[in-house]
Amino acid sequence: MTAVKTESVPKPETGQPLLDVRNLHVTYGSGASAVPAVRGVDLRVEAGRKLGIAGESGCGKSTLALALLRLLPASATLSGEILLDGEDVLAMKGGRLRAVRWAGASIVFQGAMHSLNAVHRIGDQIAEPILLHSKASPAAARRRAGELLEQVGLPAARADAYPHELSGGQRQRVMIAMALACDPRLIIADEPTTALDVMIQAQILRLIEQLVSDQDLGLIMISHDLAVLSDTCDRLAVMYAGRVVEEGPADQVYENARHPYGSALSAAFPRIGDPASRHAPRGLPGDPPDPSALPSGCTFHPRCTAALDSCATEDQVLRPAGPSRRAACVLVEPEATAAPVPPDGAEEARSTS
């Protein structure tokens, strides 16, 4: 491994999560035209753990991903706390923020196909963050870029290629290599496989899993496909209209969602071999809500098959729905355990493979 010194992000003390988001609010615009994209989200990711965020268009998941590194446009107002290894990203000043971006956490962007600059070679684009964050020489940066390409399954010789010479799957690998360039502790993957074929998607997901476990990174994966998330991640959070409406161990949330939206989302992609979904596609009436015109009460009530009269007027907060599970639905009976929700992932580490 070529020695490239990046600005160090201090190791966490034990017990402190890698990422701790507390009551995050993100609003675009101001005054009368303010659009609340994220309305109070709490999340936690431990080092080496994988969190999946599921949701559709307009639910705020991409805004959340960009907010974690303060990559939103200037018109966006953020409040709350984003603690990356104990440091609040929202309180960081320019220099420290730039140092943390990419070296503390990095993003694999949505639409990776178009996130690559078409007139630069991919080797140069991978080397760019290395040069920005460390005092490495261009030659050392290029060597490191070659190593990263090998790590993601591309021959180092491809570093001289231009993006249009690569296929979709190969470009996505380049994006992952870029995200790893500065040895971040956390990777945020925003819809990393959405436009890809099933087989390429499987290759990319396997690559991500392998890299995350080899280097003990934290992973936040965002997708609208609950099945993919449940396969790859340890924990799953379902977002709707800017809030987390369900959260818990991935396989439990996927197979047995307590929130009606969660179960609708998982039913949208049927299990092959399940006779119940033969000739019976399940969907929700209506459309995902427009963030600038959210319904009153529980924002899901217009589309909910199990809605009560009170749902139109009373908003719901996350309530306990099982061991380390939470769901924001009036129909979820609070469990008898009065104990607060335990830190995410602590027990799951041993039980999940």
Residues that bind other proteins (CB under 8 A): 56-57, 167-170, 197-203, 206, 224-228, 230-232, 261, 264-265, 267-274, 277-285, 287-288, 303
State which residue, 262 or 297, has the beta carbon closest to other proteins: 262
| Nearest partner of 39 among 252, 272, 241, judged by Cα | 241
Q: Is there a contact between 217 and 48 (Cβ–Cβ < 8 Å)?
A: yes
Closest distance between other proteins and the C-beta of residue 285, in Å?
7
Q: Which is nearer to other proteins, 226 or 237 (CB)?
A: 226
Please say which residue, 161 or 341, places its beta carbon nearer to other proteins. Answer: 161
Structure tokens at 11: 């190791």
Question: Tokens at residue 296, please?
Answer: 């009153």
Q: State in angstroms the smallest separation of the CB of 206 from other proteins.
A: 6
CB 250 → other proteins: shortest distance, Å? 11
Residue number, 27 or 170, with CB nearest to other proteins? 170
Question: In b/e form, how buried is each residue of 233-245, taking b as 16+ CB within 10 angstroms?
Answer: bbbbbbbbbbbbb
Q: Least separation, in Å, of the C-beta of 158 and other proteins? A: 13
> Are the CB atoms for 79 and 73 separated by under 8 Å?
no
Residue 199 or 336 with smaller CB distance to other proteins: 199
Tokens 């099945």 sit at which residue?
A: 227
Tell the smallest beta-carbon distance from residue 260 to other proteins (Å).
Answer: 11
Please state the closest distance from residue 323 (CB atom) to other proteins, in A.
Answer: 23
Q: Specify whether the CB–CB gap between 4 and 140 falls below 8 A.
A: yes
Q: How far is the CB of 28 from other proteins (least distance, A)?
A: 18
Using the minimum distance from each CB to other proteins, give the nearer residue, 54 or 130. 54
Minimum CB distance to other proteins smaller for 133 or for 303: 303
**In the complex with other proteins, which residue's Cβ is closer, 32 or 198?**
198
Query: Least Å distance between CB 130 and other proteins?
Result: 27
